[in-house]
Amino acid sequence: MCGIVGYIGEREVIPVLIEGLRRLEYRGYDSAGVVFFIDSRLELIKKKGRIFELEEEIFKRLPKGAKAPGLGHTRWATHGEPSEANAHPHTDCTKTLALVHNGIIENYQQLKKELKEKGHEFSSSTDTEVIAHLVEEHLKNKDNIKDAFFSAVSELKGAYAVCLISEKEPDKIFVARNQSPVVIGVGEGENFIASDIPALLPFTRRVMFLNDGEFAIVSREKVEVFDSKGNKIEREITEISWDIASAEKGGYPHFMLKEICEQPDAIKHTLLGRINLDTMEIDFEKEGLLKELFERVKKIFVVACGTSYHAGMVAKYLIEKDVGIPVEVDLASEFRYRSPLIDENTLFIAVSQSGETADTLAGLRLAKNKGAKILSICNVLGSTIARESDVVLYTQAGPEISVASTKAFTTQVIVFILLSLYLRRLFFNEDVSQKIKTLLDAPTKLQSFIERVRPDINEIAKRWYTVKNALYLGRNILYPIALEGALKLKEISYIHAEGYAAGEMKHGPIALIEENVPSVIVAAKETGIIYEKTLSNAEEVKSRRGPVIAVVSEGAEEFKRLADELIEVPLTSYELLPIFYVVPLQLLAYEIAALRGCDIDKPRNLAKSVTVE
Ligand code: F6R
C-alpha cells in the first residue's frame, strides 16, 4: 500500500509534494521520491527511509527553479526490497517520462521479459518500472502520450493507480486507476492528485473520484475523465467535510475499525497474483517456493507470538486434516528455550506481521542452525525475519497501524489456506478448483457480511460493555478463533477474557460461569459433529445461568432457542471459517472498547512491534 501525490499549478511544487506525502506516510514508508521539472527537464530525487530523510536529501541538493507538474511517492515495498533504486518515481530508457504507482502489476514478469527482448533496460526490481517502459514502447507508434499511456495501461493486469508526467507534454498529468485508490483535488488554476483525501485537504476540499478502469488527464485548468474505452465522461465534484485527522483514518474513528473494514481488500490483494485464473492453479513459484522444498518434509513447525500464533494454530487444522503432514505449533518464547526435535526434514514456518518479533526471530535462528528449511509469512517486506528466511510468502495487508492486529491475521490465514490447497494438489493431485473459486468469492461475501453485522454488534456491545470477565469458547478450527476473540477483547478493552477449547471448559473454567460472565461461543454448522458438541457446551453454560453470546451459522435454530445474543455468520467452506468468525469477534471487542472510552489504537503497555524479549 503506497501513497501517491501529484500537483500541477503555479505553487512551489516541492513543498506541495512533501506536505502531501507526509499526510500519506501512514500508508507505508520504506522509501520515498519526487519528480518535477527544472528547465523543461525531469529531475528525480529518491531516498530510502522516511519522508524526512527525503526532505533532507532535497535540502542537500537545493534544486533551483523546480516547477510543476510534479509527482511524489511514499513506498511500502511489495516487489523488490526497500532501496533507492526501487523507490518511485520510475522512468523509461530515455528518462523523459516518469511515473508513480500504487498496487501490484500481476503480469509484470511477462511484460518485463517482452520489453527486455525489445531492448529496454531496467534499473529496478519493481513491477512499476515495467509501466514506464511499456509507455515508451507504445510511443514508437503513437504520436501523443495519451494514446501511448492508454494502450500501455490496457495491457496491465492487477491493481494500480498510476500517475505519469513527461517532457514531451509537460502541461499534463496522466492518471489511471484499477482497484487501487486515487482521488483528484480540484483547485482554481491548479489541480492535485493523491491516493487518499488527507493529502489534499491542506489545499482543497473539492474532489473527483475515479472508478476502476477509468483514466484522467489533469492540467492546470481542467480535469478530463475517460472510461476504459477512451470515451470522455462527466464526473461530478464532491465536497469533503472531514477534518484532517479523521481523513487519515478514511473517516473511521480509529485505525482498528478501518483495518477491520479493509479486510476484504487485504484478502483480495493476498490472493491476487497467486491464483492463475485460467487454470485455477495456485502458483508460489515466482515467490521462490518450489515444490522440491516439500519433497523431504516430514514435519512442520509453525512458530509465532500473539495473534500470529493463532493463525499458526489454524494452519495445524488445515494441514494435518487434508495434507497429512504433522504440524507442531509453538509460542516462539517457549520454542526457543526448549529442545525441539528438528532436522533437515523439518520445515519451520515463522509467522509475523512485523517480521521483527524478537522471540520469533530467535526461534527461526534456532531452527536454521539445526538444519530446517525456513519459510516465513510476513507483512513487512525486507524485515529481519523475511531476510533470514529461505522463502517468504508476503501477506498483502498493507501497513497495520492499530496495535491490535486484525487484517494481518486474516491475511496470514489466507496464505495458510492457499498453502494447504497447494499441498493437496501437489501431494494428492486433488482438484481444488472449486475451493479456489470459493476463496475468490470470499472478499465480496465478507464485505457484505461486515456491512450487515456492524449495527447488530454495536447494539450487543451496548448491553455488555460493563462486564468484568468474559469467556470465549470454540472447538476445532474455531478454537484458535475463540483465543483470538478473547485476546482482542482483553488487549483493547482491558476486560479480563479467557479463550478456551469448549470441550475443556468442564475441567475448570466452568466454575467461573455466573450471571455476569458472558460466554462468547463460536460454532459453525460446517463442522458437523463438532457443531453439535459446541451446542452441548452452550447448554452447559446456560444451565448454570451464564449468558451466551452465540456467533453461529445462519439459521442455527438450536442456538436461537438458548442464546441471549445471536450473531449469524454466512455459510462458507471449512477453510474459510476462521475468517468469517473472527471478524464479528474483532468488531465486538472494538465496539466494547469504544464504549468504555479506551485508547483503542494504542492500548496501554503494548507496542506494535516487540523487538525485545
Ligand atoms: C495482538 C497483536 C500481537 C502480535 C504479536 C506478534 O493484537 O498484535 O499479539 O500478534 O506481538 O507480532 P508479529 O505478528 O509482528 O510477530
SS3 call for 223:
strand
Which residues 6+ apart lie within 8 Å of 133 measured at CB? 92, 93, 115, 120, 122
Minimum-distance ligand 1 atom for the alpha carbon of 309: 10
Q: How far is the CA of 310 from the centre of ligand 1 (A)?
A: 10
Q: How far is the CA of 354 from the centre of ligand 1 (A)?
A: 8
Q: What is the CATH number of domain 250-431?
A: 3.40.50.10490
Altogether, the residues listed in the chain come to a count of: 613
Among 381, 388, 604, 610, which residue has the most ligand 1 atoms within 8 Å of its CB, making it the best to mutate? 610
Q: Residue 611 has what pLDDT?
A: 63
- Cα 343 from Cα 297, distance rounded (Å): 10
Question: What's the CATH fold of domain 3-245?
Answer: Glutamine Phosphoribosylpyrophosphate, subunit 1, domain 1 (3.60.20)
Q: Give the list of residues 6+ apart from residue 223 with CB closer than 8 angstroms, or none.
A: 184, 186, 191, 208, 216, 217, 235
Atom of ligand 1 nearest to the CA of 360: 16
- What would the grid cell of residue 512 be? 467461573
Residue 403 Cα: closest atom of ligand 1: 8
Q: Which residue CA neighbors atom 8 of ligand 1 most closely?
A: 405
**Segment-wise mean pLDDT, segments of 10 residues, the chain, 613 residues:** 92 95 79 95 94 91 91 86 91 97 92 97 95 98 96 94 97 94 94 90 91 94 95 90 71 94 94 90 91 91 98 97 94 95 95 92 96 94 86 90 95 98 95 96 97 97 97 98 98 97 94 96 96 96 96 94 96 97 98 97 80 63
CA angle 505, 511, 515 (to 5 degrees): 105
Domain over 444-602 is classified CATH 3.30.70.270 = no
Angle at Cα 465 formed by Cα 599 and Cα 536, nearest 5°? 125
Do the domains spanning 3-245 and 444-602 agree at the CATH topology level? no
Tell me how crowded residue 203 is: count the other CB atoms within 10 A of its CB. 20
Most informative mutation of 405, 411, 585, 608 for ligand 1 (most atoms within 8 A of CB): 405
Residue from 291, 292, 332, 418 nearest 613 by CA: 332
The pLDDT value recorded for residue 432 is: 95
What pTM, to 2 d.p., does this model score? 0.77
CA of 335 to the centre of ligand 1 (A): 16
Ligand 1 atom with the smallest distance to the CA of 409 is: 10
Q: Report which protein residue has its CA nearest ligand 1's atom 9.
A: 306
Angle at 593 between CA 591 and CA 595, to 5 degrees: 70
Residue 434 is placed in which grid cell? Answer: 472449486
Q: Can you give the pLDDT at residue 30?
A: 84
Q: Return the residue whose CA atom lies nearest to atom 16 of ligand 1.
A: 352
**Which active-site residues does the annotation give?**
2, 608
Domain ranges of the chain: 3-245, 250-431, 444-602
| Cα–Cα distance, 583 to 588 (Å, whole number) | 9
The neighbour count for residue 180, using CB atoms within 10 Å, is 22
Residue nearest (by alpha carbon) to ligand 1 atom 3: 306
Which residues lie with the beta carbon below 6 Å from any ligand 1 atom?
A: 305-308, 352-354, 357, 360, 404-405, 487, 491, 609-610
Q: What does R_g of the chain's alpha carbons equal in angstroms? A: 25
In angstroms, what is the span from residue 362 Cα to ligand 1's centroid?
15
Site to substitute for ligand 1 among 353, 400, 415, 611, most atoms within 8 A of C-beta:
353
Residue 607 CA to ligand 1 center (angstroms) comes to 9
Output the CA 484–ligand 1 centroid distance in Å.
11
